[in-house]
Structure 1
Amino acid sequence: MDAIYRGQRHVYDWTRKYYLLARDELIDALVPPRGGTVLEIGCGTGRNLIAAARAWPEARFFGIDISEAMLETARTNIARAGLTGRITVAAGDATHFDPKPLFGVARFDRVFLSYTLSMIPDWRGALVEAADKLAPGGRLELVDFGQQEHLPRWWRALLFAWLRHFHVSPRAQLFEVVEGLRSPGLPIARTVPRYRGYAWRANLARG
């Protein structure tokens, strides 16, 4: 990941704002409790954490990313935004991490993933890990590329070919896996295609 993002991180936010749709919709939906904790898995440049911290000033925010290059940019951006006291980021693998030694927090009121699962080889494992990090009453929120199901076939073919150049693979089974995570302790799952299937939004609530 460092090899991919060492150069891209400097223009990442400027370029991605045009096609990573529904990220701000996810941030608006977080609604963490007063004094609550929010974790982003795959925090990248810190763009989402900064926006979320500004939207929800009474919560504390944390992020992990496997790329040290991206974390370097995230820390710079967070400091520039004056949010170092409210946002903490650390290196971590989305499929297996212990937040307690990283942040002093074992479970979170909100966990979110934004256009991350399509880049993680073991994306199912990352979803299981994310759900495991929810506190009682917590909620997992995610957004990623959909299957372009209500858009022209040529669009889907061009987009998917272009995404492959960035090692991005939209997950056709995403909704099924989210639904499959439901259990007596995780009873509610909602899945919604957005922008004619360009993006998929989903959430999972711990009862």
Structure 2
Amino acid sequence: MSDVTSPTGDLMDSIYRYQRHIYDLTRKYYLLGRDRVIRELEPPQGGCVLEVGCGTGRNLIKAARRYPNALFFGLDISEVMLEKAQLEIDRAGLGERIRLARADGSDFDPQGLFGRPDFDRVFYSYSVSMIPAWEQALACGYAATADNGRMLVVDFGQQEKLPRWFSRLLMWWLKQFHVTPRSGLDAVVGSYGRARVTPLLGGYAQFAVVSR
């Protein structure tokens, strides 16, 4: 893993130093749509997939099992989350097919990190709402997407069709973890050209696919 330090990385380490041990157990109840991203990855035979903000490695492990003929890469700014991810990847026996690196999702060099200029698939699963420079992060991901490849994003929406009390409660809860749903996500991914943005569960989440 490459070495990177930043105030954001320190903050994420402080938040998840202990939560990483129960993260996947608790987040499955409200990080909805993650498995849809995995289903729609569909990398080509021998393809390469990058997750930006891979956290505990949960998505990479599930995707690697679903697509045994692809290679997977993950980056995260939190050292403690990467330690957890590497532990889980090794336990799953997938160390030869999943590589991790510590990097800022809004400023990363895929060639320097992984020896690759681009990937057939790049995806973000509830990480855009945690990256301060999120628009720049999406630009980096799009730049790292190979020609004829796809970038996929799932994250919190604006809950436009859900009760107001629910939206207020959710926003309060997310704020405790420095999570901010991005109201302009659809416009940003739409600016890249061939993009499909789908609201999920009354706007609870939004799912985007950008074809390059």
| TM value normalised by structure 2 | 0.94
1:191 corresponds in structure 2 to 197
Structure 1 residue identity aligned to 2:178: H
Q: Within 1, Cα distance between the matches of 2:97 and 2:133?
A: 30
Residue 27 (structure 2) aligned to one of 16, 22, 32 = 16
Q: Within 1, Cα distance between the matches of 2:210 and 2:36?
A: 16
Say yes or no: does 1:38 pair with 2:49.
Answer: yes
Q: Within 1, Cα distance between the matches of 2:145 and 2:173?
A: 34
Give unmatched runs, 5+ long, in structure 2. 1-11
Per-residue CA deviations over 1:143-183 (Å, capped at 9, x if unaligned) read 0001111110110011001110110010111101111122x
Say yes or no: does 1:150 pair with 2:183.
Answer: no
State the SS of the aligned residue for 2:46. coil
Q: Within 2, Cα distance between the matches of 1:127 and 1:64?
A: 14
Say yes or no: does 1:58 pair with 2:86.
Answer: no
Q: Within 2, Cα distance between the matches of 1:152 and 1:193?
A: 16
Say yes or no: does 1:120 pair with 2:131.
Answer: yes
Runs of 4 or more above 3 Å deviation: none
Residue 85 (structure 2) aligned to one of 68, 74, 77 = 74
Give unmatched runs, 5+ long, in structure 1. 183-187
Q: Within 2, Cα distance between the matches of 1:111 and 1:158?
A: 31
Per-residue CA deviations over 1:117-136 (Å, capped at 9, x if unaligned) read 10111100001000000111
Q: Within 2, Cα distance between the matches of 1:85 and 1:101?
A: 19
Report the aligned-residue RMSD.
0.6
